[in-house]
């Protein structure tokens, strides 16, 4: 498992989700145009409002994924970390963590690694720690075994 592979998988996940959101937004745009052609009174206005709300929700999600991609592209996978921080791949006694963006569990080389935002509770606990340090989280003790 390499940081480069995890970073690449993270970028692929973000780009895939962005494409899905763009397709949904395009479909909603077409739906909105169809609703504009209709003139069914209150029912028509309600349908338009629902489509607009969905467009706003999806646009917000798309914006969040654009920001995630920006964060991921700033991570240098060759940089070796002495302390846990943004871009660190951390091996603990309880598993692997990649401090980057909140994508949840990824599988790299058939091993689970959790891509998480450094602002997440466990990210906050890990930040600034070094090899050998302990972190208490969720009633468990995690020992930092290595940092990449």
Q: What is the reported pLDDT for 38?
A: 57
Helices (H), 38-73: 42-73
Structure tokens at 125: 């606990």
Structure tokens at 112: 């689970």
The tens digit of pLDDT for each residue in 60-98 reads: 999 999 999 999 999 999 998 999 999 999 999 999 999
pTM for the whole structure: 0.86
Average pLDDT over residues 8-21: 98
The tens digit of pLDDT for each residue in 108-145 reads: 989 999 999 999 999 999 999 999 999 998 899 999 99
Average pLDDT over residues 16-30: 94
Contact 18, 37 (CB under 8 A): no
Answer whether residue 24 shows pLDDT above 80.
yes
Average pLDDT over residues 1-26: 96
Query: In terms of C-beta density within 10 A (0-12 exposed, 13-18 middle, 19 or more buried), how is residue 40 classed?
Result: exposed
Q: What is the reported pLDDT for 33?
A: 74
Answer whether residue 47 shows pLDDT above 80.
no
Per-residue burial over 105-121, b if 16 or more Cβ lie within 10 Å, else e, is: ebebeeeebbbbbbeee
pLDDT band at 43; cut points 50, 70, 90: low
Structure tokens at 86: 């943004």
């Amino acid at each position: 498992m390499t940081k480069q592979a995890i970073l690449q998988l993270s970028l692929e996940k973000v780009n895939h989700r962005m494409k899905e959101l763009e397709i949904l937004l395009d479909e909603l745009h077409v739906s909105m145009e169809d609703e504009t052609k209709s003139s069914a009174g209150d029912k028509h206005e309600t349908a338009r409002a629902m489509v607009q709300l969905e467009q706003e929700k999806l646009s917000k999600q798309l914006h969040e994924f654009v920001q995630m991609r920006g964060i991921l592209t700033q991570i240098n996978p060759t940089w070796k970390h002495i302390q846990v921080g943004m871009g660190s791949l951390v091996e603990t006694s309880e598993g692997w963590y990649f401090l980057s963006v909140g994508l949840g569990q990824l599988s790299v080389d058939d091993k689970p690694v959790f891509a998480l935002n450094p602002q997440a509770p466990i990210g906050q606990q890990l930040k600034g720690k070094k090899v050998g340090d302990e972190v208490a989280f969720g009633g468990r003790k995690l020992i930092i075994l290595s940092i990449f």
